[in-house]
Amino acid sequence: MTQPSTTSSGVPAYGRFGGFGGRYVPEALIPALEQLEEVWRKAVVDPEFVGELERLQRTYTGRPSIITEVPRFAEHCGGARVILKREDLNHTGSHKINNVLGQALLTKRMGKTRVIAETGAGQHGVATATAAALLGLECVVYMGRKDTERQALNVARMRLLGATVVPVDNGSKTLKDAVNEAFRDWVANVATTHYVLGTVTGPHPFPEMVRDFHRVIGVEARQQVLDLVGRLPDAVLACVGGGSNAIGIFHRFIDDRSVRLIGFEAGGEGVASGRHAARFSAGQPGVLHGAFTYVMQDVDGQTVESHSVSAGLDYPSVGPEHAHLLESGRAEYRPVTDEEAMEAFSLLSRTEGILPAIESAHALAGAMKVGRELGPDAVLLVNLSGRGDKDVHTAAAWFGLIDEDGGTVLPATSEAADGATDDDGATGTGVQL
């Protein structure tokens, strides 16, 4: 067994997964990271903390989340059985709430009164704003200017929840720059503020701690699949931005050697185009945002800007444990293009009545490929990490349902009638009215 990170608390070297991870941050933050680790490790063995987190998961998040088998969608996946883990049904609409509730409770334990967060798609920002409202914490969310524009609905949601949203105009104006700004805030305000980092990267203990708060996804799903199918799935699939939903569903399966773990990165306009966020296809090991992991960078070690139709996957780095799972051979990672993801988005919507987040649609596109490879006897477990309500504007624009000003584009009546003759919309070519 070359995979050392198989227990919920064990990492092989201090704060490392294999050679990846570590703490590449200013000295000023080290005491805060040490305090966080100490408070966290005590909390997770304290029945009071564990009980409170479980109570919130049950009565607030809505855990356990269900699984849903999707046979009409599966017809386009080589006939394999496809089972979705419905993290999209969690309160706030994605898996992000799992981690945020844990960290918000830790914030209270540390006696801090203010939380900050970065967000790309807005899912983590909304979850953090929600937890802050619930627990009476001040909340500031940093979000790249470009993301505030393509996820305007989530900006409004965060503000309605009482959070302050700060648009970030530096660099690529996306998630990477929001993380930079959050670190700058944290260094200045660390005495009163906890940085609720939203994914499984950053300095130790974040990658391990955030993973453990999401581990419930795989713990539940493994039993649910066993109950439904009578055996383990052949493959577990998830999209990978920073990698929190993926590690959350993967981790409980790491010791199940028969189960393939497959992560799907944003291939954007294609890896060859250079406009993508396929860190494992086109990045190299390096340091970004406190962790040694895979980073998209140029020959001088400058971070290269990523691109994806999905704001939540538009990030040039990835959690260090994923880098380790790749190098140890336990997991595989593949790119999915914008086009493939949007096709899967359309397909799930029209065959199953479920609008997925565009992030999660990357995993669905992966299921279409993997299902065809493995054939009809295969069972695929896909993490549907978020719902697509926040993406309606992006998807509507992609499929030409709205014009540049956001106005509705409607066909003439006769065309609409023709369009309706399409059997179930599962042609994979997009949405027709």
Partner 1 sequence: MSVGPILEACRAEGRAALIGYLPVGFPSVEGSIEAMKVLVDNGVDIVEIGVPYSDPVMDGPVIQDAAVRALEAGVHLGDIFSATRAVSDAGAGALVMTYWNPVLRYGVDRFAGDLAAAGGAGLITPDLIPDEAGDWTAAADANDLDKVFLVAPSSTPERLTKVTAACRGFVYATAVMGVTGARASVGEAAADLVARTRAATDLPVCVGVGVSTGDQAAEVGRYADGVIVGSALVRCLTEAPTPQEGLEALGALARELAEGVRRGRA
13, 30, 160, 392: which one contacts partner 1 (CB under 8 A)? 30
Verify binding: residue 197, partner 1, rule CB under 8 A.
no
Q: Which residues are catalytic?
A: 96, 118, 385
User: Least distance (Å) from partner 1 to the CB of residue 207?
Assistant: 15
Which of 51, 71, 162, 301 is the binder for partner 1 (CB under 8 A)?
301
- Considering beta carbons, is residue 35 or 224 the nearer one to partner 1? 35
Give me the least distance between CB of 197 and partner 1, in Å please. Answer: 13
Nearer to partner 1, 129 or 295 (CB): 295
Q: 245, 303, 360, 394: which one contacts partner 1 (CB under 8 A)?
A: 303
Q: Which of 171, 229, 339, 427 binds partner 1 (CB under 8 A)?
A: 171
**Whole-number minimum distance, CB 29 to partner 1, in Å?**
8
Task: Identify which range of 39-47, 51-59, 272-280, 300-308 contacts partner 1 by CB under 8 A.
Answer: 300-308
Q: By CB under 8 A, is residue 299 in contact with partner 1?
A: yes
Binding of residue 419 to partner 1 (CB under 8 A): no
Q: Is 180 in the site for partner 1 (CB under 8 A)?
A: yes
When the beta carbons of 178 and 249 are compared against partner 1, the nearer one is 178
Residue count at the site for partner 1 (CB under 8 A)?
Answer: 36
> What's the per-residue H, E or C state across the chain?
CCCCCCCCCCCCCCCEECCEECCCCCHHHHHHHHHHHHHHHHHCCCHHHHHHHHHHHHHHHCCCCCEEECHHHHCCCCCCEEEEEEHHHCCCCECHHHHHHHHHHHHHHCCCCEEEEEECCCHHHHHHHHHHHHHCCEEEEEEEHHHHHHCHHHHHHHHHCCCEEEEECCCCCCHHHHHHHHHHHHHHHCCCEEECCCCCCCCCCHHHHHHHHHCHHHHHHHHHHHHHHCCCCCEEEEECCCCHHHHHHHHHHCCCCCCEEEEEEEEECCHHHCCCECHHHHCEEEEECCEEEEECECCCCCECCCCCCCHHHCCCECCHHHHHHHHCCCEEEEEEEHHHHHHHHHHHHHHHCCCECHHHHHHHHHHHHHHHHHCCCCEEEEEECEECHHHHHHHHHHCCCECCCCCECCCCHHHHHHHCCCCCCCCCCCCCC
Closer to partner 1 by Cβ: residue 187 or 433: 187
Query: Of 102-110, 215-223, 280-288, 328-336, which part binds partner 1 (CB under 8 A)?
Result: 280-288
Contact with partner 1 (CB under 8 A) among 187, 396, 401, 433: 187
Residues that bind partner 1 (CB under 8 A): 22-32, 170-171, 176-177, 180, 183-184, 187-191, 284, 286-290, 295, 297, 299-303
